[in-house]
């Protein structure tokens, strides 16, 4: 539907669908409302950042925070507050984050949150009137002490705004360092395979102007960038703009127009993954303070076709199958077509919660692992036209002990053959590592089919497929006597064979602990 609906707004207050240019037949109506107290106050409240699903929002305020400032009702230092939304879509009371994040005597501002809500980027000023970018990680329910980014992201100049790329390997940030096109420019730095930050890049004159750029946000689709600028023929102070990355370059920024942009400063636009809700800071008439936080809603106009974001959100929690206790697990997303890692993250250590953003157009393998457990895998093959969808799952991890089995959802064969397809190797390599880490255990590789075809044929095909997995693992150094290949044919279905979805579930390879 809409992330790109912001791409162009017309003065009458309706906008085109996501990623499309203005047209007479606009498809979506936009409404903007000021958040009520205590989110907004007579002081400055601004710079909202939000998780992709909208469950957590952090913002910056200079409302009184210390006992002395509260007693005198005077402006405080910039501090970071957190609110969460409940099942009824009601915001909690703002919670002032602790001194690990809000350093006393400093201006502290939340400037980004990762799509999964587990990492936060923070601006903190210094004695020279400049400031740098830091990172905090959500440890259970508490944000960790800040870790300052090294050069080349931080410098002796002023770094004021930043955001993550979807895979976490790139950070986009604003700096007024030398070598740019104006005052404050947008730059990026990529992390190398060894974890070092390098490859500093200015986003160039298409994005940056002789004026200041500020307030950057990259949507969960991974390629739509929102930012504010005093250039690009801004109509008043900072205006909001959008650009998309395609064919290795950024498109010419488009002014989002009224009613988002006003004669005052309009900054820090952040958008949920579904494209229907956004938050922003604005200095417009009717506010409680000079700067306030506003919620933006986009409503499709009946009878007019809209384009949803090309994105799937997978969210939920990871728990122990037997105890139901939340687990902190490693989660790796793989691009199956290239057998390369797309991104890595961890489920929350207190809640087991996770949130993954999967842009359309790829075949994703998802692996969840933890010491002492069989890994869990999921497969999402998303066409390049797959529109927005939210999938909620509770993943139950099985202890690594006799009798436990899991489905290898990212093991694939050529049609009607036992030949392993190349996109299977990432999951099979992970399986080999699990076997090496548990050298005393024996395992069964079992293959299953649906009920299409003759029983005997299906049994022989499944036996050959199970054997091909064993051959692969032996080639990775696993002893033959630790592995048993078994073909079940159509004898052990887990779903109906009356539907294609059910037959697909029945066509599977399983991994079972024998002893």
Edge-first strand listing for the sheet containing 376-381: 340-346, 330-335, 363-369, 376-381
DSSP 195: S
Edge-first strand listing for the sheet containing 159-164: 159-164, 170-175, 185-191, 197-202
CATH, residue 112: 2.120.10.30
Domain boundary among 374, 399, 424: 399
- The pLDDT tens digits for 397-420 are 999 999 999 999 999 999 999 999
Helix (H, G, I), strand (E, B) or coil at 2: coil
Q: Are residues 393 and 427 in the same domain?
A: no
- Work out the percent of the chain whose per-residue pLDDT is above 70: 95
Domain boundary among 300, 322, 343: 300
DSSP 468: H
| Residue 160 token pair | 């004021």
Contact at 8 Å (CB) between 107 and 61? Answer: no
- Nearest residue to 30 via CA among 313, 223, 387, 269: 269
Give the chain's domain count: 3
- The pLDDT tens digits for 278-296 are 999 999 988 898 899 999 9
Positive or negative torsion for Cα 216, 271, 138, 93: positive
Q: Are residues 409 and 293 in the same domain?
A: no
Q: Are residues 391 and 429 in the same domain?
A: no
- The pLDDT tens digits for 11-61 are 233 344 343 344 344 677 889 999 999 999 999 999 999 999 999 999 999
Domain boundary among 250, 280, 300: 300
Q: Is residue 305 part of a domain?
A: no
- Nearest residue to 360 via CA among 308, 298, 411, 412: 308
Contact at 8 Å (CB) between 486 and 493? Answer: no
Tokens 């099979």 identify what position?
Answer: 428
DSSP 251: P
* Residue 7, pLDDT above cutoff 80: no
Bond into 38 cis (ω within 30): yes
| Residue 442 token pair | 């024996």
Contact at 8 Å (CB) between 56 and 270? Answer: no
Q: Are residues 157 and 234 in the same domain?
A: yes
Q: Are residues 103 and 180 in the same domain?
A: yes
User: Exposed, middle or buried by CB within 10 Å (0-12, 13-18, 19+), for 72?
Assistant: exposed
- The pLDDT tens digits for 248-281 are 999 999 999 889 999 989 999 999 999 999 999 9
| Residue 317 token pair | 């929690």
- The pLDDT tens digits for 343-352 are 999 999 999 9
DSSP 478: -
Q: Are residues 316 and 410 in the same domain?
A: no
User: Exposed, middle or buried by CB within 10 Å (0-12, 13-18, 19+), for 429?
Assistant: middle
Q: Is residue 352 part of a domain?
A: yes
Structure confidence at residue 314 (pLDDT):
96
CA distance 460 to 55: 50
Q: Is residue 376 part of a domain?
A: yes
| Residue 309 token pair | 């974001």
| Residue 467 token pair | 């054997």
- Nearest residue to 219 via CA among 291, 265, 276, 301: 276
Q: Are residues 394 and 428 in the same domain?
A: no
Under the banding of pLDDT at 50, 70 and 90, the label for residue 308 is: confident
CA distance 388 to 260: 24
Q: Are residues 185 and 72 in the same domain?
A: yes
Q: What is the CA radius of gyration of the chain?
A: 26
* Residue 422, pLDDT above cutoff 90: yes
* Structural domain that includes position 265: 3-300
CATH, residue 314: 2.60.40.2190
């Amino acid at each position: 539907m809409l992330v790109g609906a912001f791409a162009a707004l017309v003065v009458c207050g309706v906008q085109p669908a996501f990623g499309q240019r203005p047209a007479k037949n606009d498809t979506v109506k936009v409404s903007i409302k000021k958040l009520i107290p205590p989110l907004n106050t007579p002081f400055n409240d601004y710079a909202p950042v939000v998780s992709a699903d909208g469950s957590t929002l952090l913002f910056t305020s200079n409302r009184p925070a210390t006992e002395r400032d509260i007693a005198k009702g005077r402006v405080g230092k910039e501090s970071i507050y957190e609110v969460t939304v409940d099942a009824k879509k009601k915001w909690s009371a703002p919670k002032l984050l602790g001194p690990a994040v809000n350093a006393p005597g400093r201006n502290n501002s939340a400037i980004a949150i990762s799509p999964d809500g587990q990492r936060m980027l923070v601006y903190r000023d210094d004695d020279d009137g400049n400031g740098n970018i830091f990172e905090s990680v959500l440890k259970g329910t508490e944000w960790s002490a800040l870790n300052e980014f090294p050069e080349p992201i931080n410098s002796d100049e002023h770094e004021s705004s930043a955001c993550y790329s979807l895979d976490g390997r790139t950070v986009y940030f604003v700096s007024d360092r030398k070598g740019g096109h104006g005052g404050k420019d947008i730059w990026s730095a990529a992390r190398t395979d060894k974890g070092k930050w390098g490859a500093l890049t200015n986003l160039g004159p298409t994005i940056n102007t002789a004026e200041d750029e500020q307030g950057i946000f990259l949507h969960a689709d991974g390629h739509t960038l929102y930012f504010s600028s005093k250039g690009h023929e801004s109509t008043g102070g900072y205006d909001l703009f959008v650009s998309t990355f395609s064919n290795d370059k950024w498109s010419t920024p488009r002014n989002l127009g009224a009613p988002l942009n006003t004669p005052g400063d309009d900054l820090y636009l952040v958008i949920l993954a579904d494209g229907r809700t956004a938050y922003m800071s604005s200095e417009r008439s009717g506010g409680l303070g000079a700067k306030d936080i506003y919620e933006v809603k986009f409503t499709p106009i009946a009878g007019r076709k809209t384009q949803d974001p090309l994105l799937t959100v997978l969210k939920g929690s990871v728990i122990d199958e037997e105890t139901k206790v939340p687990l902190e697990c490693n989660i790796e997303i793989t691009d199956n077509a290239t057998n390369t890692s797309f991104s890595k993250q961890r489920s929350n250590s207190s809640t087991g919660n996770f949130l993954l953003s999967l842009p359309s157009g790829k075949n994703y393998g998802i692996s969840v692992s933890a010491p002492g457990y069989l890994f869990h895998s999921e497969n999402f093959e998303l066409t390049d036209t797959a529109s927005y969808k939210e999938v909620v799952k509770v993943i139950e991890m099985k202890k690594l002990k006799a009798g436990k089995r899991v489905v290898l959802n990212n093991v694939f064969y050529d049609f009607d053959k036992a030949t392993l397809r190349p996109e299977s190797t990432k999951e099979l390599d992970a399986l080999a590592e699990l076997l090496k880490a548990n050298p005393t255990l024996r395992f069964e590789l079992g293959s299953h089919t649906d009920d299409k075809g003759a029983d005997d044929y299906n049994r022989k095909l499944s036996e050959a497929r199970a054997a091909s997995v064993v051959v692969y693992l032996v080639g990775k150094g696993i002893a033959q006597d630790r592995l048993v290949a078994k073909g079940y044919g159509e004898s052990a279905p887990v779903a109906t064979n009356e539907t294609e979805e059910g037959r697909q579930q029945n066509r599977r390879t399983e991994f079972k602990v024998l002893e």
